[in-house]
Amino acid sequence: MRKSGYLLLYIIIILYSSCTNPEKKVESPGSGGSIFYSLRIWGEEGNDSVSCMFQYYAGSINGPVVFPGEKNRVELDKVPMKPDSANLSGPYYDLRRPLQGFNGRHEIVFSGHGNHFNDIRFEFQAFHAAPDWPLSFKKGKTQLKLENFPKKASVIRLSMVDTSFDSNDFNELITVENGILNITESMLKELTPGPISIEITREQENLYKNGKIWMSYTLRKEFELLN
Question: Do 120 and 207 contact (CB within 8 A), yes or no?
Answer: no
Query: What pLDDT sits at residue 157?
Result: 97
E strand residue ranges, the chain = 26-27, 35-44, 49-58, 65-66, 74-76, 79-80, 82-86, 90-98, 104-111, 117-124, 128-129, 136-138, 142-147, 154-161, 170-176, 180-183, 194-208, 211-226
d(Cα 97, Cα 131) in Å, to the nearest integer?
Answer: 26
- Of the candidate CATH numbers 2.60.40, 1.10.3470, 1.20.1740, 2.40.128, the domain formed by 128-226 belongs to 2.60.40
Query: What pLDDT sits at residue 87?
Result: 82
CATH architecture of structural domain 26-124: Sandwich (2.60)
Q: Which sequence spans correspond to the domains of the chain?
A: 26-124, 128-226
Each residue's pLDDT, cut to its tens digit, for the chain (227 residues) gives 444 444 444 444 444 443 433 333 344 444 446 788 999 999 999 999 999 999 999 888 888 888 866 667 899 999 999 988 888 888 999 999 999 999 999 999 987 655 667 888 999 999 999 999 999 999 888 999 999 999 999 999 999 999 988 888 999 999 999 999 999 999 999 999 999 999 999 999 999 888 999 999 999 999 999 98
Query: What pLDDT sits at residue 62?
Result: 86
The answer to whether domain 26-124 and domain 128-226 are alike in fold is yes
